[in-house]
Structure 1
Amino acid sequence: MRPGLILPDVRVRASFVAAQEEDIAAGDLTGALDRELPVYGADWHTPEGFARYVNDVREEALEEGRRPAGFVPATWYWFVAGDTYLGRIQLRHRLTSQLLAYGGHIGYRVRPSARRQGHATAMLRAVLPHAHRLGLDRVLVTCDHDNTGSRKVIEANGGVLEDERDGKLRYWVATQPRIRDAS
């Protein structure tokens, strides 16, 4: 089955939990996992606990939804092949001054066992039309200056480097392919 984006869904619980365990075993607790693990980690393995997590993550997309203080509305998408969770990508609906400087509109993560297979590039490509539907003509995507893999993902999706700030490369990516002038 060809991988694709879905909204968070309880049907991939077992695979999602296994992916988080991969990250924990690798000592990679960066990004959302760092804030989610203390709140949800003990309950992810139960159907009820995971359903609560999925509901809370989906609520973050709503303007009036609950989310951590200072966070903007953001839609999470999971990249799955059937019921196999491969990674996630977050689309922030707008930028704060902090996100403009360092975080950008988009953050993504691929589970360790699925890395280096093109999934991050495919996730970013697949989320761009969703960003366009939010009214974003271009999105800011950032990565650490020494993260060659993320840099290649962003550039493969047409990212144009604007600058580097405190070790973060800042790229702008168009949300619609450019139409070439026929003349």
Structure 2
Amino acid sequence: MPELIAPTAALHAAWLAAHREWGPGTHEDGFGLRAGDEVTSAAGFAAWVRRLAAESGQCTYRWIVEDGQLLGAIALRHGTDGAVLRAGHIGYGVRPSARGRGVASWALARMLTVARERGMGRVLLVCADGNAASARTIERAGGVLESVRDTELGPARRYWIALDRRGGRAAP
């Protein structure tokens, strides 16, 4: 059974294995990885994990872990600044070998609970227009399509999920 945990330097080797599986780049949404982050060395990785912890006022990062393996990550971005309105409140990524078994849906459901506990009334999720699996995950969680917009990375689908305080989704 997977669990959501705060990022930890103890999972350096597991994180590197997942990152290698994804291939080069910083495309693993949910990890908070920036192009300038040096994550291959233990010291650089630990510094990155410390940065993520220091950003906890702006973003809640969680890693999806099962049996010591890093399956992916999910992040809840707080607020409504320009970056949130571009990328969404919630972003996630699941490593290729863990896809197709409901990991993203499981993690999204738990992060929606965190958003609700933070008092958020609704959250924005954005995925590439061609990412049918992510679109289905968001729609199953109650996402209502707002629009498809052109972005610097190509067309993106924008979904809103309305939350209520009782643990369910509010009517859109």
| TM-score category (smaller protein) | 0.7 to 0.9
Q: 1:143 to 1:42 in 2, by over 3 A?
A: same
Q: 1:170 aligns with which of 155, 158, 161?
A: 158
- Pick from 83, 90, 94: which aligns with 1:106? 90
* Paired positions, count: 163
For 1:149 and 1:23, locate their aligned partners in 2 and report how far apart those are by CA, in whole Å: 16
Distance in 1 of aligned mates of 2:39 and 2:44: 9
Q: Tell me the equivalent position of 1:15.
A: 14
1:67 corresponding residue in structure 2: none
Secondary structure in 2 aligned to 1:42?
A: coil
Query: What do residues 45-87 of structure 1 show as CA deviations (whole Å, max 9, x unaligned)?
Result: x2x433222111111113xxxxxxxxxx111110111321110
Q: In 1, distance between residues paired with 2:64 and 2:33?
A: 20
Match of 1:92 in 2: 77
TM-score calculated relative to the size of structure 2: 0.83
Greater mean deviation of Cα atoms: 133-142 or 168-177: 168-177
Fraction of identical pairs, as percent? 37
Correspondence 1:1-183 to 2 at 5 A: 2-24=1-23, 27=24, 29-30=26-27, 35-36=33-34, 38-43=36-41, 46=42, 48-62=43-57, 73-100=58-85, 102-166=86-150, 167-175=155-163, 176-178=167-169
Q: Distance in 1 between matches of 2:32 and 2:119?
A: 30
Aligned-pair RMSD on alpha carbons? 2.3
Secondary structure at the residue paired with 1:139? strand
Whose helix fraction is larger, Structure 1's or Structure 2's?
A: 1
User: What is the rounded CA distance, in whole Å, between the counterparts of 2:170 and 2:122 in structure 1?
Assistant: 15
Q: 2:52 corresponds to which letter in structure 1?
A: V
Letter in 2 for 1:177: G
Distance in 2, Cα, partners of 1:126 & 1:163: 25
Higher Cα Rg: structure 1 or 2? Answer: 1
2:138–2:159 CA contact under 8 A, matched in 1: yes
